[in-house]
Chains A and B, each alone.
Chain A
Amino acid sequence: MDKMPAWADAVLVPLISILLAAILSALVILAIGENPVEAFNLMVEGALMRSAGWGYTLYYTTNFIFTGLCAAVAFHAKMFNIGGEGQAMIGGLGVALVCLFIPFPHWTVALLVAIVAAGAFGALWALIPAYLQAKRGSHIVITTIMFNFIASAVLNYVLVNLLRPQGAMDPATARFPEATQLPTFQDMFATADNPLFRGSPANVTFFLAVLACVAFWFLMWRTRLGYEIRAFGHSESAVKYAGISPVRITIVAMLISGGLAGMMALNTTMGEAERLVMNATEGAGFIGIAVALMGRSHPVGIFLAALLFGFLYQGGAELALWTNIPRELITVIQALVILFTGALDNMVRMPLERLFVALGRKDA
């Protein structure tokens, strides 16, 4: 069998997908009587040409890296973890509990403990669907979807009835103590004459996300566990033959996946809001699936895809601010990109593959 070159698969396919999505989006914008070129310029300027824009873009990127890695671990084990959203919510609960109830001396200590808490809570939330899949054959897609709803209900109960400060209207916790608030890019990079990243939410968890990418690569391609997870994803029967327990791999892979989703909450909860709000995840768990698909479940790809989606989110906010494009259409544009890069991957790949085969034959 013949295939197109690897570079085309990794670079050309996503690029063409994005281009198609952009063209369709442009048509949508035209249809409501706005100028697509201007809109694009606004997005680029607002998201990439100002340091504060980068601050927002990278803030969203951080979320998407974590949830993208979450989906990717599961993909490698041939599982569809749709529960990143719920796992991140519960991860947020873990972060909130340690931040509110442990008196930390410094944010570094707080971050370390919160990483453990976020990961553990997220992993725990993935454990039950994982167990049901491994032992009872309940399909992980169904159970993780259900667990998103349960997570939302649990969080709602905890916020409204247990953690909401007296007299507050919001279903949210109190603000975390000063010592647990993570340094933002502004704290780290801004100087008196150069107010970089002013007011933007990007914070130290971005570096944690990059670190997670590196760790992910080592885990998947350098450790026995990664070797076994990938093998399991390719062939369950082979894994049984080799004496690797499918139950163990299913559970371990889902624990890692859930843990990564949980860590996303560090960014939104400890980094940005500095309290736990009801709607802290905002669909990032689902975006992560598209990010993993587009990034081919490889950390470099995931990083780039997360960056693209970060740009789309921040650019979308700019559109909402400065144009009369209704927010529903901005959502439509974001959805188009997800559709083209995630779901309709083969629509681009197959014709391209045929083209390469045809070209290859001409050469030969």
Chain B
Amino acid sequence: MTDTAPAIELKGISKSFGPVQANKDIAMRVMPGTIHGIIGENGAGKSTLMSILYGFYKADRGEIFIGGKEARITDSQSAIAAGIGMVFQHFKLVQNFTVLENIILGAEDGPMLRPSLARARGVLKQLSDEYELSVDPDQLIENLSVGHQQRVEILKALYRQADILILDEPTGVLTPAEADHLFRILDNLRSEGKTIILITHKLREIMEITDTVSVMRRGQMTATVKTAETSPGELAELMVGRKVLLQVDKSPAKVGAPILQIENLRHVDSHGVERLRGVSLEVRAGEVLGIAGVAGNGQSELLEVLGGYADATGSVTVNGKPLPLTGTGADGAARRKTGIAHVPEDRQTEGLIMPYTAWENTVFGYHREPEFQSGMLMDNAKIREQAQDKMTRYDVRPPDPSLPAKAFSGGNQQKIVLAREIERDPDVLLIGQPTRGVDIGAIEFIHKEIIRLRDTGKAILLVSVELDEIFALSDRIAVMFDGQVMGERMPNETDQTELGLLMAGVTERPGGDPIKAVDAALEQKEQREASQHD
């Protein structure tokens, strides 16, 4: 024991949801003025633990000490009172309120808003200066970039005088530049004596910023180590309990004729904002074209247009045959008939019907195929049978077709989608975020399947916000920013820095401060979107 008490100490925290033990006998100590990382696979219990700390759940057993004193945290109010602030993965901001209004929301000084706003304005200015947390206090949230919205969340916590800040997967939605900025903010906070808990599944971030790191696996804290004394390989091993290959073994691509050709594709969303601004791409047989980019730069819309459920202008051909981009024939069912299979970015809201059983999900989108019919009815017996077969071959666990999709872990859900789409033997496979929220064991399996498919001569269009994944799988990389392709690179001829700049809309390596160039590009994008938004 040192003289200073730990900022947070957890002792024997356990929490079960029925038969599932989400947290088991967790012990953790975080010293003040440090950044502590918590890393673990999806479903390892990180979020549950933080929810307990923030008062959303009540632990079945165990004690929480804040600054050496036992704290009884029953709801988020008592967590705030204990000096804990939380920045969620999905921000809890009121879109049509200003920054200032959001910051005082729930922490007003009295029934009248004016004095609260005035006080908040002062505090905000001081905090902004102190921690590089600059945001325009009078701007509406909906006009802010994701990175700025995140700053508002941090400011909200600091305004409530949080000494302990929990950030849940904070970089998932950020550009590399924005992420760098965030880390500088965190660094400043640390040097001011704040304690930070960073939850992430990105090993790189842990290595970059944290002082200590805890690894969670299956509800248990398997190890707590000093960051300086560990390596990414060791952490990964601790996470999954065995050594994993972060590299994908693949032979050089045997590229054939162009299969999917995209010319000058344009798409306007329901608010009138142009989301695709003249995209032209080509995917050839036997190659993986990786689309890198920060979420929200048109990749999702590209997949939606190709998948047949968003209207567009321009031209798309498959094997030389043009596809209708609006009206009849521009729907998912027609696309499947032309040989396009699609693993969507969000399996929970698109790829799967979560309450449906696994067997029902294995034909979703193909349920009108004659082979699944028997007269006027669906041939449920046959569908179950083929589902069982797919689940066995794709190693879906548990291999029980009658469980609802929501009962499977992220990786196993993704395997169900993948099995469904790959097994139809498509010419083109669209894959969005194949391993988002997927544990490392399943990532390996999914990556291998994608390469196997490539090697059978399919044209694969891969969209991912994970640069590591883009590098690991792609034979060519196209970078998207603000609805346009900023450039194409071969993976062995580029690096993360160059791609990072492209992703932020900077096509040439700037001479001066790269951050300034990035900010300028982002600002331009935001202005365009705001001006088109109706």
Contacts and interface: CB of A to CB of B under 8 A. Distances in A.
Q: Do chains A and B touch in the complex (CB under 8 A)?
A: yes
B112 interface: no
Contacts of A361: 16, 18, 60
Interface stretch (B97-105, B230-238, B253-261, B362-370): B362-370
A223 B335 contact: no
Interface in A228-267: 228, 230-231, 234-235, 237-238, 240-245
B355 interface: yes
Contacts of A228: 367
Nearest to B345: A241
B81 to A, nearest CB: 26
Interface string A213-239: 000001000111001101100110110
A241 B340 CA distance: 12
Contacts of B16: 2, 361, 364
Nearest to A2: B18
A238 B333 contact: no
Contacts of B355: 234
A2 B406 CA distance: 12
Contact of B378 (A1, A224, A237): A224
Contacts of B135: none
Interface in B322-367: 331-336, 342, 344, 346, 349-356, 360, 364-365, 367
B426 interface: no
B309 interface: yes
A155 to B, nearest CB: 35
B18 A357 contact: yes
A103 interface: no
A222 B309 CA distance: 26
A364 B21 CA distance: 11
A240 B309 contact: yes
Contact of B364 (A1, A238, A245, A360): A238
Contacts of A227: 360, 367, 378
A234 B353 contact: yes
Name the prevailing secondary structure of the A interface residues.
Answer: helix
Nearest to B350: A241
Interface string A330-350: 000000000000000000000
A49 B258 CA distance: 78
B18 A360 contact: yes
B351 A234 contact: no
B402 interface: no
A231 B331 contact: no
A238 B351 contact: yes
Interface residues of B, number: 36
Contacts of A357: 17-18
A235 B349 contact: yes
A240 B333 CA distance: 9
Contacts of A242: 332-333, 364-365, 367
Interface centre among A224, A228, A364 (most CB of B within 10 A): A224
A234 B365 contact: no
B377 interface: yes
B252 to A, nearest CB: 33
Contacts of A50: none
A3 interface: yes
Contacts of B342: 241
Contacts of A223: 376-378
A44 B375 CA distance: 46
Contacts of A224: 367-368, 373, 378
A2 B346 CA distance: 24
Contacts of B331: 243, 245
B333 A243 contact: yes
Interface string A1-20: 11100000000000000000
Contacts of B320: none
Contacts of B367: 224, 227-228, 242
B307 interface: yes
B304 to A, nearest CB: 8
Nearest to A363: B19
Contacts of A222: 377-378, 380
B298 interface: no
Contact of A231 (B333, B344, B356): B356
B308 A243 contact: yes
Interface string B135-175: 00000000000000000000000000000000000000000
B352 A238 contact: yes
A2 B334 contact: no
Nearest to B360: A227
Nearest to B18: A2
Contacts of B344: 241
A235 B353 contact: yes
A243 B365 CA distance: 6
A2 B20 contact: yes
Contacts of B18: 1-3, 357, 360-361
Interface in B268-311: 307-309
A230 B355 CA distance: 10
Given A230-B353, A361-B16, 13 more contacts: A2-B18, A222-B378, A224-B378, A234-B355, A234-B356, A235-B349, A238-B364, A240-B332, A241-B351, A243-B333, A243-B336, A244-B332, A360-B19
14 contacts: A1-B17, A2-B19, A218-B377, A222-B378, A224-B367, A227-B378, A228-B367, A231-B364, A237-B349, A238-B353, A241-B332, A241-B344, A243-B333, A244-B332
Rank and list the top 8 A-B pairs by shortest CB-CB distance, nearest first.
Answer: A2-B18, A243-B332, A243-B333, A242-B365, A241-B350, A240-B309, A2-B17, A222-B377
Interface of A: 1-3, 218, 222-224, 227-228, 230-231, 234-235, 237-238, 240-245, 357, 360-361, 364
